[in-house]
Structure 1
Amino acid sequence: MKKNQEYKELSDKDLRERLEAEQLDLIQTKIYHSTTPLDNSGSIREKRRNIARIQTELRARELKKD
């Protein structure tokens, strides 16, 4: 719940920037994991979940505007 509250406090612009950063980080982590196994492979799952949380918050704001 802590993450969700953090995302609700950010502006739309900040959320979009964070989304892009998370997506790039996920891609880089996947590439790195394919060459050298990660110590904590759960970090990939956590990055995907963070991306989903951000997208959910952005979508909720879009629906609220209508």
Structure 2
Amino acid sequence: MKIAEIREMSTADLAERIEAEKANLQQVVLNHAISPLENPAEIKSLRRAIARMISDLRQRELNNK
């Protein structure tokens, strides 16, 4: 997910998306532990996408104060 897409989302939608992506990451990591993924770099990209979303959400919180 690109930063432009993240910034277009509302704060509530972003918070929901973060939770959904965290659950998805846990599932992918669990699946990878059971049987290796074809592309293990997918885990890295999911973690970075979650970090981008969390960073943008935190920036919004700081700007609203």
TM tier, smaller: over 0.9
Relative contact order, higher structure (CA 8 A, sep 6+): 2
Paired position in structure 2 for 1:37? 36
Calculate the TM-score normalised by the size of structure 2. Answer: 0.96
Shift of 1:48: 0.2
C-alpha separation in 2, matches of 1:16 and 1:59: 10
Question: Over aligned residue pairs, what C-alpha RMSD do you find?
Answer: 1.0
C-alpha separation in 1, matches of 2:2 and 2:60: 17
**Number of equivalent positions:** 65
1:50 alignment partner AA? A
C-alpha separation in 2, matches of 1:58 and 1:25: 19
Paired position in structure 1 for 2:23? 24
Gapped regions of structure 2 (runs ≥ 5): none
Shift of 1:41: 0.2
How high is the sequence identity, in percent, across the aligned residues?
Answer: 43
Q: After the TM superposition, which residues 1-66 of structure 1 pair with which residues of structure 2 at under 5 Å, given as runs?
A: 3-66=2-65
User: Runs in 1 of length 4+ with deviation above 3 angstroms?
Assistant: none
Gapped regions of structure 1 (runs ≥ 5): none
Shift of 1:59: 0.4
Calculate the TM-score normalised by the size of structure 1. Answer: 0.95
